[in-house]
Amino acid sequence: MKNFAKFLLFVLLVSAGISLLYDYRLKHGGLNLASGRKPEKYTLASNPSVDPKQVPSLEALNRERRALVKSVIPSVVAVKTSTKVAVQRQYELDPFEFFFRNRRQFRSPRDETLVQNSLGSGVIVTNEGHIITNSHVVTDREGNQVDQIEVQLSDGQTKKARLVGADSEVDLAVLKIEDPNVKPLKLADSDTVQPGDFVLAIGNPFGFEETVTDGIISSKGRPNRTDFFGDLIQTNAAINPGNSGGPLINLRGEVIGINTAIASTTGGSQGIGFAIPSNTVRTALESLLKQGRIIRGYLGIQTQALQPDETNSDTDGVTVAGVTPGSPAALAGVQPGDVIHKFDGRDVKNFEALRTFVAQTPLNKQVDLEVLRNGKPLKVKTQIKEQPIDYQSSGVTPRRNQPDPQPQRPGKPSDQETAGGSLASIHVEELTPETAQQLDLPGNVQGVVVNGVDPDSGVAELRKGDVIEEINQQPVTSVADYNKIVGSVDPSKPQVLSVCRGRMRSFLVLRPR
C-alpha cells in the first residue's frame, strides 16, 4: 500500500513538472508544441492615426449622416410578392405500363402550380399607411396584381399590403397597410433639385434590407424610356436589382425620387441610376388615390426628331410637324410650322419638356401658348384635356427623305453595317405575343428581340432574348424600325439602348470601337 502511495505521488510530481515546463516555454518564446514553431511576437496599434480633433468637420458629417439615415430608415420597407403560375406538364407514360406492357397507356396532361417570388422596395408617404413603389414590383407581365404582397418594416414586422392602384407606363404603384404607427416621409419639390446635390438611395437590393448608398444628383431631365408623364433624375448612388421602388433622399430626409432603373453593361450598379422625380410621384399618387388611375393631359401635336448634327441649343422650342384633329392644339389654332416657345409661362426647351408640362397640367385648365409663326410671336389659349387611350404618346415623327437601308450585297458589307457600327452586329427578330409570354415580359413592352450577336463585336452585354425598346430615345417597334435607325446613326458616337430583360429594364451604352 505504501509503495502504491509513493508511486502515485511520483506521478503527480512528474505531471506538475511537465506543466510548469510547458508554461515556461510558452512564456519565454519556447516552441509551440502543437505546431512545432515559435509564436510570433505582435503589438497592436493603440492610437488612431488621426486625432478626431484634427478633422472636426468630418466627424460632424459622420454624426449628421447617421442621424439622417436613422430618421428615414423606419419609413423604408422591403416589398415581397408571390404569385402562382400554372404549368401544364406534357403527356407522361402511365406507370401501369410496367405491369401491363402489352397496353401502352398515357396520362392526361396535368396542371401544376409554381410560385414565383420577387423582391423590391417601397417608402411610406402618408399617415394612413400608403406606400409608393414601382409598378413592376407588384404586378405580373400583363399588369395584373400578384397573388400576395407583403411588406417588411424596419422593426422586422411583416404586414399584408393591398394594391390601391398601379400604372405600368410611369412605373408607379400605391400600396396600403394597416398600421397606426407608420412614419411617412415628405415628398420634396423635385424641381428645386440640382446636379451636385447630395442624396441617399435606400432599399432592398438582392434581398439585403435597409441598404444605404450615397452619391449626388448627376443630371436632371433624362427622358423616361416608357412614358411621357415625367422625366427622370440621374444619380450615381449605387442602385441594384431590388432597389426598385425605394426612395432617393435629400439632406432633409425628404423623398426627391423613386428609384426605378439603371444603365448597366452587367445588370448591376455602374454608377448610373434613374429615379422618378417626387413631383411626378405626387401627381401620380393623388391621381391613383382619387381616380384609381393616372390621368394624363395631352396637347395633340407631333414634332420632328433631331438630326444627328442638331442639339437642343440649336432648336430651343418645339417645331410643330402635325396637329391631331379635335385636339386641344387644334382647337387653339396651332398650325404645322409653328414653334412653341412657352407653355403656361414656362420656357419650352425641347419636346420632352413640353410633354412633361402638358401631362402634369390639371385637366380643363386654360393655358397660354407662346408660339412663333412665320417669324412673328403669337399667343394662343388652349384647354388641356385627358389623353385618349389610343393616343400615340411619343409625339415624334421621323425626318422625311431619309433613304431606306440598302440590301446587302454578297461578300460586301452593307451600308447599314458601315453606318451602324456595333449595332450592325446585333441580329434581331420581331417581338410576338408568344415570344413576350415565353420571356415573361411586362405587358407594355414594344421592341425587337435579340436572337444573336456577332462574335468579337464588343456587344457581349446583350443576351439572346433581350428586347431593344429604344435606340438613342427613338422608339423601336419593329425590325424595319430597327434597321432604319441603325442605318442613320453615327458610328463614331456612343449609342444608347433601352433594353428590357425579363422584368428588368436598363440602359445600355455601346461605345464606338
Q: Which residues are catalytic?
A: 136, 171, 244
HSE of 4 in the Cβ direction (CA atoms, 13 Å)?
Answer: 1
468 CB-near residues (< 8 Å, 6+ apart): 426, 428, 447, 448, 450, 476, 482, 497, 498, 499
φ, ψ of residue 66 to 5 degrees: the values are -60, -45
Instruction: Tell me how far apart the alpha carbons of residues 285 and 293 are, in angstroms, rounded to a whole number.
Output: 9
Cβ atoms of residues 332 and 344 within 8 Å: no
Instruction: Tell me how far apart the alpha carbons of residues 338 and 370 are, in angstroms, rounded to a whole number.
Output: 10
Instruction: Tell me how far apart the alpha carbons of residues 172 and 260 are, in angstroms, rounded to a whole number.
Output: 9
The neighbouring-strand residues paired with 213 are 201
Task: Please report the DSSP string for 411-429 in residue order.
Answer: TS--HHHHHHGGGGGEEEE
- Cα radius of gyration rounded to whole Å, the chain: 32
Residue 276, classed as helix, strand or coil, is strand
Q: β-strand 318-323 against 301-304: which pairing, if any?
A: antiparallel
Instruction: Tell me how far apart the alpha carbons of residues 107 and 95 are, in angstroms, rounded to a whole number.
Output: 9
Instruction: Tell me how far apart the alpha carbons of residues 426 and 453 are, in angstroms, rounded to a whole number.
Output: 5
Cell 404586378 sits at which residue? 139
Cell 403560375 sits at which residue? 85
CA torsion sign for 266, 267, 268, 274 is positive
Instruction: Tell me how far apart the alpha carbons of residues 176 and 72 are, in angstroms, rounded to a whole number.
Output: 19
Cell of 157: 414586422
Cell 422625311 sits at which residue? 400
